[in-house]
Structure 1
């Protein structure tokens, strides 16, 4: 099978940018309308890898994507971080005063809330993809409507940037995961990071005990995220990212932790994208 990567969105989207940077600019992509479609692309073998945003430094974690990864037994094979620059763009010859509506992905709109506070009359409309909105505007000749997307999207679809870098935090960045179907591909070389799912026993101090074990073995926890266990009200699963130096130590720690959990699942062992 020719190597292909599933992305949420189309050419010019941030997912497309990540696929090119991680796999090489010539990598074929399967353009998917939603994150659920990205998963379906993997499970039906339309693609053998996928790129999925998991958290943004301004807007926070995309919680439903944890469920998609967990429920479908996807494996994390790597991660990639990119700075996110949001640009307001429209058909050429217009000013911001001509714009009535701004359409984009809900996470993109959320990342630019401070900018839009200065334009209270603008109607903000959620769409499935940043670049797809840019393409719709160009193909439909839609005036009075702006997209919020990357500079690359403006170049590909021939739109004019009305205002650049409108994100609230100028150091705005997004973390993307590189995924495969379960047991589809081998573990990354030089791995030094692990993503785990824990469901703890209903005992007082269970989480503290886990954190103390990580500390005692000098594992550096870089993220912890709680997600409700849908089947059991008021019960939570915890998704953890930890850094390690020796994989043997990691597995020794997991052996100790396993006895303190109702469920321990390794979502992936891979190379830290920040190093």
Structure 2
């Protein structure tokens, strides 16, 4: 029996949209109001897969999610890039001049800030989840309040789209990863991307040496994120993504890095979604 997919947010959220595209539009969904909640469902065995946003082309990395994957020894088995389009939603028949407040996630409000400069009468209010605001407007028949959410949310909760694509930077993309408890067995020929974590001392040339190994082994570094180790001053953990054409090149680089770096860990091997 196929278990449901756990997501952060509710139906109509961008995580829900990714789950529909990556798995199936008929996939059963477990709605969670936090990333910790989605991970707990995975650890408890309520689900075999979770969808988790990892970075945004405007806002950068969602660092706590890297820590969640690492701390719980989870495995990234896939990824999906979603073009994030923010839309202004309200009850049927409402006009933007009737809207007094717009409720949405702080990040969505920030990304649409320039649009609302034209509407000084509208108060911006932070909320926990974009789609949840849309649901509340629909369920409670809230007049004078609008949400910033996806067109999918408008369809699910039967709201009007007052304005489309209101984000300041029109090309706004988020990278989502598919996470499981254990490594997924996949044919090597299908694998061309990996997420790795390792630690280095704060010494001159330590990071450059590792990067040279990647380059010499024909790996392409697509992402690097450093995090200080709080319990060990001046020591850093690095989260990196690499792509490769030949799995043998990646295998060779991994074996060398494992010897050179401390606490080397493979967070996931999967197919690059940006081909």
Q: TM-score, normalised by structure 1?
A: 0.94
In structure 2, C-alpha distance between the alignment counterparts of 1:80 and 1:188, rounded to whole Å: 19
Distance 1:60 1:120, change over 3 A: farther
For 2:107 and 2:193, locate their aligned partners in 1 and report how far apart those are by CA, in whole Å. 26
Kept after mapping to 2: 8 A contact 1:51/1:179:
yes
Tell me the distance in 2 between the aligned counterparts of 1:79 and 1:160.
31
What residue ranges of structure 2 are gaps of 5+ in the alignment? none
Q: Give the aligned partner of residue 127 of structure 1.
A: 127
Q: Taking structure 1 as reference, are residues 122 and 60 closer, same or farther at Cα in structure 2, changes over 3 Å only?
A: farther
Q: CA deviation at 1:135?
A: 0.3
The CA deviation string for residues 185-216 of structure 1, in whole angstroms up to 9 with x for no partner, is 42466010000112112321111111111111
Residue 232 of structure 2 corresponds to 232
- Paired residues for 1:15-94 under 5 Å: 15-94=15-94
Q: Does structure 2 conserve the Cα–Cα contact (< 8 Å) formed by 1:79 and 1:273?
A: yes
Check 1:232–1:124 CA distance in 2 against 1; reply closer, same or farther (3 A cut): farther
> For the residues of structure 1 that align with 2:227 and 2:268, how far apart are their CA atoms?
18
SS in 2 for 1:259: helix
Q: Which residue matches 2:167?
A: 167
- Tell me by how many angstroms 1:141 deviates: 1.5
SS of 2:250 mapped into structure 1: helix
Pair 14,255 (structure 1): closer, same or farther in 2 beyond 3 Å: same
Q: Distance in 1 between matches of 2:119 and 2:231?
A: 43
| Distance in structure 1 (CA, Å) of the matches to 2:187 and 2:98 | 50
CA distance in 2 between counterparts of 1:228 and 1:65 reads: 15
> Residue in 2 aligned with 1:186?
185
Structure 1 spans left out of the alignment, 5+ residues: none
8 Å contact kept, 1:134–1:153 = yes
**Residue equivalent to 2:144:** 144
C-alpha distance after superposition, 1:116-175 (max 9, x if no partner)? 344455333332221111001111121222110001111111111111100112121111
Corresponding residue number in structure 2 for 1:249: 249
Distance apart, 1:27 and its partner CA: 1.2
Contact 1:225 1:238 in 2 (8 A): yes
CA distance in 2, matches of 1:108, 1:28: 26
Aligned residue-pair number: 274
The whole-number CA distance in structure 2 between the counterparts of 1:138 and 1:218 is 53
Q: Distance in 2 between matches of 1:228 and 1:110?
A: 27
